[in-house]
A = this chain, B = another copy of it.
Amino acid sequence: MAKKISSRPISLSTQPESVTLIDVAKVAGVAPMTVSRALNRPELVRSDTQKKVLDAVRATGYVPNMLAGGLASSKSRLVAILLPTIANSIFAETVQALVDKLTEAGYQTLLGLTAYSTAREEALVEAILGRRPDGIVLAGTSHTKATVERLTKARIPVVEIWDLTNKPIDTVIGFSHEEVGKQVARHLLDKGYRRFGIVSVDDPRGLRRGKSLIAELRKQGIADTAFKILPAPATLQVGREGAALLFDEARPEVIVCSSDTLAQGVLAEAASRKLSVPRDVAVMGFGDLSTAAHVYPSLSTVRVDGTTIGMKAADALLSRFGASPSSMDMPARIDTGFSIIDRESA
């Protein structure tokens, strides 16, 4: 009778063979395909069949194998996220929002950490594309040529975040770091400051903000701006050290920091030197949101809404996942902007 001897040996070992669609189908008394449908497209299955299947799933403890499903359907329900770092990171909120939204939509998230290295990013991209993700999110817009090529060839939605560019790989959601530097310069000049100091970690976007700030100051006739670049990650301690260097050398009227964490370190150093903020020295941070705002009345900051970036990135991906391949060619360029929050005048 048996058309084919079961290839699965009757297991005598304690290792419970993993339950497959076929096992569920047997228990439910339907074809494997029907189980698949009941699970993935229930609207195509009569409700009593549906029930039989679900009962069988519970009875067997079946967990669908997404490797097999993904291989067969070329849909992995996987989104990769690549960022420089997660420790003490300005990206934390973005990741949180992104992961939350994607999880809710039934996608899982692969996390890769590049440590601000485009070479490492390239290696990660290659490895990750091996998983055939349905989409990928990258922090920043600066990548190696090979990375861009691979990403383009992969023909999946690519979202670059936390920066802006005129030549995105696909979709880009962020703001201009040059514009941040420029606006911060103008804002502080308007308030009458003339001697500036900058504390930044060695992060490409932070450096660009700093350079743009200096460029704008130059335009306005201010030539010498002390620019302290310290190794990442941006910790309170690093902020303190940077501030110490500036206080010892340049005695700036205002210190601009590449992140709020650094700014808090600067505040700590100022306090330890009995310097009053902002009277003796003003401090400007970057990043904000749940950290510094409302808490340090003397701290100004550039506020960036990381949560919005994460949510928009998720939206961008999800809308493309549903869409037809042709509409794949309609990427977006979203400027989420930033705002300068001035605690002194609040």
Task: Quickly give the copy total for this chain.
Answer: 2
Asked if A127 and B111 sit within 8 Å, CB to CB, the answer is no
Of A190-198, A210-218, A292-300, the segment with at least 4 beta carbons within 8 Å of chain B is: A292-300
A119 adjacent to chain B (CB < 8 Å): no
A45 adjacent to chain B (CB < 8 Å): no
Cβ 8 A contact of A89, one of B92, B272, B297: B92
A205 adjacent to chain B (CB < 8 Å): no
A66 adjacent to chain B (CB < 8 Å): yes
Q: State the CA gap A15–B154 with chains docked (Å).
A: 10
- Distance in angstroms from A54 CB to nearest chain B CB is 14
Q: Report if A237-B294 is in contact (Cβ < 8 Å); known contacts: A63-B126, A67-B131, A67-B132.
A: yes
A27 adjacent to chain B (CB < 8 Å): no
Of A94-102, A219-227, A245-253, the segment with at least 4 beta carbons within 8 Å of chain B is: A94-102
Range for the number of chain A residues in contact with chain B: 35 or more
Q: State the CA gap A235–B68 with chains docked (Å).
A: 42
Interface residues of A (CB under 8 A from B): 15-16, 61, 63-68, 70-71, 76, 78, 81, 85-89, 92-93, 95-96, 99-100, 103, 108-113, 124, 126-132, 150, 153, 155, 233, 235-237, 240, 264-265, 268, 272, 290-297
